[in-house]
């Protein structure tokens, strides 16, 4: 990874976070909880993948339609997150593989 890649990544992250800050307060709170949850158990490609920007897109559309954030995702934020990453390789999978010694043997 070159310095230019790092700089570009930071620019993209700052632009992403500016979009988050522009969301209504209730959406921002839920987004931060989703982000925290996904950084703990989420997919390995989370920082570079389309998941977080896709959530912001979804939230921007919901806010523009006048819907409450819980109308969009339901009352269980963790269940919403788990559904988003159900088919992705996660850090939990990597950990399970490391303790079992066999790649791809993590239970789902």
Give the DSSP per-residue string, 63-99.
Answer: HHTT--HHHHH-S-HHHHHHHHTTTS-BHHHHHHHHH
Is this prediction's pTM over 0.85?
Answer: no
d(Cα 26, Cα 3) in Å, to the nearest integer?
36
CA dihedral 81, 87, 89, 95 (to 10 degrees): 70
Per the listing, tokens 């593989």 go with: 97
Report pLDDT for 31.
96
Does the pLDDT at position 25 exceed 90?
yes
Q: What is the pLDDT of residues 97-108, one digit of tens each?
A: 889 876 655 554
Report pLDDT for 15.
92
């Amino acid at each position: 990874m070159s310095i230019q890649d790092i700089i570009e990544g930071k620019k993209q992250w700052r632009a992403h976070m500016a979009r988050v800050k522009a969301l209504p307060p209730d959406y921002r709170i839920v987004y931060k909880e989703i982000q925290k949850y996904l950084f703990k158990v989420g997919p390995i490609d989370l920082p570079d993948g389309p998941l977080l920007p896709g959530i912001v897109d979804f939230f921007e559309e919901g806010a523009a339609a006048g819907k409450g954030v819980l109308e969009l995702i339901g009352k269980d934020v963790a269940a919403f997150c788990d559904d988003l990453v159900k088919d992705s390789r996660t850090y939990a999978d990597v950990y399970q593989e490391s303790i079992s010694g066999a790649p791809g043997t993590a239970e789902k």
